[in-house]
Amino acid sequence: MTPELPSAVVTAPPQGWRVWWTAARPRTLTIATTPVLLGTAIAWAEGAPHLWPAALAALACALLIQAGTNMHNDAADFERGNDTAERVGPLRVTAAGWAPPGEVRSAAFAAFVAAFALGIYLVGIGGWPILAVGLTSLAAGWAYSGGPRPISHTPLGEIFVWIFFGVNAVAGSHWLQAGRLSSAAVLGGAALGSLAAAVLMMNNYRDLAGDLKAGRRTLAAVLGPAGARRAYGAMMLAPFAVPPVLAAQGHPGALLALGALPLCLSLARRIAASEPGPGLNLLLAGTARAEFVFGLLLAIGALL
């Protein structure tokens, strides 16, 4: 979801392990790791024991599911003919001919299997709620690009991101440490998920012309350019209603997350004057950075 280098900048194809590192889209991985950090931090701030092995395993699971989702998306979009020479985003390894789709799909499957194996350990710690979160996350990772009607081709993508990179991820990480549901974790997850959804909205707004041509009915396509810009602004600014609520609930350090407001305001203003196209790659990177900064500040603030 977050940008790699634009295709015009790529001077030579990656070799060896770098192909798979590229396919995993490393710049997207903060969107998977930040919710784990936030949920763990809130649990520790509420007095939960510091279960480092569980935290590290949850972090690894999140990274593997995100990498698997990205690689599956890489192969699936190529096979559907969505990634063409007209793509305004970065080249994908399958479309660029750096790896055949079967190998990319196998790598995605391997990442999902590794996440499932780690998940067995996490279920032993967190019980059936973690089993439910883990299985639905794996299923969603596949369904994002797989099946006859992929989530990525519908207006539901942002909801998918809000749930699985926000509420579920933060609340699930909290549960692993504390063994209970926390309203602070749910609120924090909802705020972080909104910013993660904004990353996808920016991505789909950038790709709007190509998506419409390919028949993809993303939320940006349904809303149109003006509606997409307004939705992006709402997703970027709504999370800042949460830190004061968390402060009132006994987490005064949560107000530290308000430090990300100038960055988010700047991005919301810039998209208001920007048309879809490759010029939005920098704004896309900035949106991902804003999500990370907000989540990190909220996590640090919770621990203060």
pLDDT tens string 267-303:
999 999 888 888 898 999 999 999 999 999 999 999 9
Q: Which of 261, 263, 269, 253 minimizes the C-alpha distance to 287? A: 263
Domain borders along the chain are 17-303
Q: Which of 146, 133, 243, 254 minimizes the C-alpha distance to 194? A: 243
H-helix segments, 46-182: 52-79, 101-126, 128-143, 157-162, 168-178
pLDDT tens string 83-116:
655 566 677 888 888 889 999 999 999 999 999 9
Residue 75 · residue 39 · CB < 8 Å: no
Hey, CA dihedral for 186, 191, 194, 195, is it positive or negative?
negative
Residue 242 · residue 188 · CB < 8 Å: yes
Q: Is the pLDDT of residue 7 over 60?
A: no
Residue 300 · residue 44 · CB < 8 Å: no
Could you say which architecture CATH assigns to the domain 17-303?
Orthogonal Bundle (1.10)
What is the DSSP code (8-state) at residue 94? T
pLDDT tens string 234-280:
999 999 999 999 999 999 999 999 999 999 999 999 999 888 888 89
pTM tops 0.85: yes
Residue 240: count other Cβ atoms within 10 Å of its Cβ.
17
Q: Is the pLDDT of residue 1 over 70?
A: no
Instruction: Report the C-alpha dihedral over residues 273, 276, 277, 282, rounded to 10 degrees.
Output: 50
Residue 273 CB contacts under 8 Å (≥ 6 apart), including other chains: none
Q: Which of 297, 226, 299 minimizes the C-alpha distance to 262? A: 297
Residue 288 · residue 280 · CB < 8 Å: no
Phi-psi region of 4 (alpha: psi -120 to 50; beta: other; left: phi over 0): beta
Q: Which of 293, 285, 288 minimizes the C-alpha distance to 4? A: 285
- Indicate the range of 31-40, 148-157, 224-233, 246-255 predicted with least confidence: 148-157
Average pLDDT, the chain: 91
Residue 66 · residue 138 · CB < 8 Å: no
What pLDDT shows up at residue 11?
A: 47
What pLDDT shows up at residue 5?
A: 36
pLDDT above 70 as % of the chain? 93
Residue 69 CB contacts under 8 Å (≥ 6 apart), including other chains: 108, 141, 142, 144, 145
Q: Distance between CA atoms of 236 and 95, rounded to whole angstroms? A: 32
Question: Ranked by mean pLDDT, which of 26-30, 69-73, 93-97, 196-200 comes out on top?
Answer: 196-200
pLDDT tens string 169-206:
999 999 999 999 999 999 999 999 999 999 999 999 99
Q: Is the pLDDT of residue 69 over 70?
A: yes
Residue 270 · residue 287 · CB < 8 Å: no
